[in-house]
Amino acid sequence: MLADLVSGSLQDAERRREARPLVEVEAAALARPAALDALEALAPADRVKIIAEVKRASPSRGVMAEIPDPAALAVSYEIGGASAISVLTEERRFGGSLADLEAVRESVSLPVLRKDFVADPYQVFEARAAGADIVLLIVAALDQPDLVSLHSLIRELGMTALIETHSADEVERALDAGAALLGVNARNLSTFELDQDLFGTLADSIPSGVIRVAESAVKSAADITHYRNAGADVVLVGEALATQGDPVSTLREFLAV
């Protein structure tokens, strides 16, 4: 399933590349104002930080939120106290787009994360051209040389990689690749099963100095507390915020733990 998601994203990138060749996207990426410093925005603090996600749909849940105005949702996230905004740009199963990311970028002053199945340098240049500050790299979707080279490119463009893992081996690979912002996804992207305790199991193997991000499976403030107690510096929340009528108060409640 993960392989299908990656190949779908790559096919979509190929289609966009026909309309807009790499040289053009590269020029647009370099013309952007410098990326925001995500490591500073997400640095460990005496309170938990939240990356709030603009998420319409997922393979496991189907369509969950219409989100006619992703920029307005992102503004609510900023008002509610989020430290960064994640935008799904995967089109086929998550219903996102780079246009969503650009709209969000124009409307908030927080770092913005491109959440997609990135496996080709073209997608990294696209992310920067659209104004992303952070790019997700999923260890399970990449071999080690690609993980290392995509991470280098992300840094060369002044951005930060959120390197996502789902096992002890993957944490080791992320650290070998120089991860400074390391995510543990509670959801297995091949089976879609959730394991909310995985973060706690792996947290000790992440050295201090690396920002620890717990991803997925937050439904209530108690889940934020669960991750915080297990050592999370940052929690990434999608569905619980995107499907909420009042994301500002939900976020404030999540941040009050």
Ligand X SMILES: O=P(O)(O)OC[C@@H](O)[C@@H](O)c1c[nH]c2ccccc12
Residues that bind ligand X (CB under 6 A): 53, 55, 115, 138, 164, 185, 215-218, 236-240
| Residue 156 CB burial class (10 angstroms; 0-12, 13-18, ≥19) | exposed
Q: Which of 78, 102, 215, 239 is catalytic?
A: 215
Is 216 annotated in the active site? yes
Region label for 132, one of left (φ > 0), alpha (ψ between -120 and 50) or beta (otherwise): beta
Q: Which of 97, 115, 126, 239 is catalytic?
A: 115
CA distance 219 to 161: 26
Nearest to ligand X of 24, 249 (CB atom): 249
Is 170 annotated in the active site? no
Q: Which of 53, 78, 170, 239 is catalytic?
A: 53
Pick from 134, 102, 104, 100: which is nearest to 118 by CA? 134
**168 and 179 Cβ atoms separated by less than 8 Å:** no
Nearest to ligand X of 34, 150 (CB atom): 150
Nearest to ligand X of 53, 233 (CB atom): 53
Q: How far is the CB of 84 from ligand X (least distance, A)?
A: 13
Q: Which residue has the tokens 């990689």?
A: 161
- Tokens coding 245: 């009528």
CA distance 2 to 20: 27
- Tokens coding 210: 């690396």
Q: Which of 58, 83, 97, 185 is catalytic?
A: 185
Nearest to ligand X of 131, 238 (CB atom): 238
Is 164 annotated in the active site? yes
Nearest to ligand X of 156, 197 (CB atom): 197
Q: How far is the CB of 5 from ligand X (least distance, A)?
A: 7
**111 and 86 Cβ atoms separated by less than 8 Å:** no
3 state DSSP class of 139: helix
Is 49 annotated in the active site? no
Q: How far is the CB of 53 from ligand X (least distance, A)?
A: 5
Other beta carbons within 10 Å of 71 = 18
Stated as kind and residue range, the H or E segment containing 128 is: helix 121-129
Q: How far is the CB of 215 from ligand X (least distance, A)?
A: 4
Is 185 annotated in the active site? yes
Q: How far is the CB of 33 from ligand X (least distance, A)?
A: 27
Residue nearest ligand X, Cβ-based: 238
The residues that are catalytic are: 53, 55, 115, 164, 185, 215-216
